[in-house]
Structure 1
Amino acid sequence: MRAADEAALRRVARRRARQDVQRKERVDVRYSTDEKTEILAEARRLGLAGAHFVGAIVMAHLNGDLALPEQRTPVDDLIDEYAALREQVSRIGRNVNQIAKRLNEGGTTHPVDTAVIAEAGRLVALVQDTVKVVDTAANVAATSRWAA
């Protein structure tokens, strides 16, 4: 699965809000055994119930937030690639923070630790700047998509 596709699924599936009353209306859909297995596996991977996952995807499509593959535009792909890139860069920042925390916790230090902590701080700042740039680019892409 492409990073953009994964980001789109996560964005859409998490957006469906709870309602004050239980949803009672049903739409029956038939899937092959293999299709059902794939749907449930993906829902589980995203931490969602199968019905919530399918409902979120359908409602996102109806609301114009998720296009069918043949309806996607290059801007949709760009927005989702930015979301995936942001997550990857954020993970780097978290790893650098964990390294810096470990080195700052004390204990026996080595002469190189000071240089490693300084470099970790520089990397965290670089990651923060990168995330801001990615967020700005994603906002510009999203704004241009809705303005079109």
Structure 2
Amino acid sequence: MRATDEAALRRVARRRARQDVQRRERVDVRYSVDEKQAILAEARRHNLAGAHLVGAIVMAHLDSDLALPAERAATDDLIDEYAALRTELARIGTNANQIAHRLNAGGDAHPADAAVLAEAHRLVATVRQAVTAVDTAADVAATNRRAV
């Protein structure tokens, strides 16, 4: 699965909000055994029920927020790539913070610790700037997409 597909699915699946009243209407759909297993596996990866995942995707498509593969625009891919990039940057920042925490925790310092700590702090600052730039670019892309 491409990063854009992963990000689009996560964005859509998490958006469907609870309602004040229980949903009672049903739509029955038939899947092959393989299709059902794939749906349930994907839902488990996102900690969702299979019905929630399918419902979120269908409603997002009906709300023109999730295009079918043939209807996706370049902007959709761009927004999803930004989301995937932001996730990767956040992981880098988390790792740098863990290094800094370890070095700041005390104990016997090694001669190289000060240099590593300074580099970890520089990396965290750089990642924060990159995340801010990615967020700004994603917001611009999403705003331009809605304007189309």
Whole-angstrom CA distance in 2 between matches of 1:45 and 1:2: 15
RMSD: 0.6
Q: Output one character per residue of 1:3-52: Cα deviation in whole Å (capped at 9) or x when no partner.
A: 01000000000000001111110000000000000000000001000000
What count of residue pairs does the alignment treat as equivalent? Answer: 148
Whole-angstrom CA distance in 2 between matches of 1:39 and 1:146: 29
Aligned equivalent of 1:66:
66
Whole-angstrom CA distance in 2 between matches of 1:146 and 1:23: 29
- Structure 2 SS opposite 1:31: coil
Aligned equivalent of 1:98:
98
- Aligned letter for 1:98? Q
Give the TM-score normalised by the residue count of structure 1: 0.99
**Structure 1 residues without counterparts, runs of 5 or longer:** none
Whole-angstrom CA distance in 1 between matches of 2:107 and 2:94: 22
Whole-angstrom CA distance in 1 between matches of 2:79 and 2:127: 19
- Aligned letter for 1:77? D
Matched, 1:57 2:57: yes
Whole-angstrom CA distance in 2 between matches of 1:135 and 1:103: 30
- Aligned letter for 1:145? R
Shift of 1:68: 0.2
Aligned equivalent of 1:10:
10
- Structure 2 SS opposite 1:43: helix
Give the share of equivalent positions with the same residue, in percent: 74
Runs of 4+ in 1 over 6 A off after TM superposition: none
Shift of 1:60: 0.5
- Aligned letter for 2:64? G
Whole-angstrom CA distance in 2 between matches of 1:142 and 1:41: 29
Shift of 1:100: 0.4
**Structure 2 residues without counterparts, runs of 5 or longer:** none
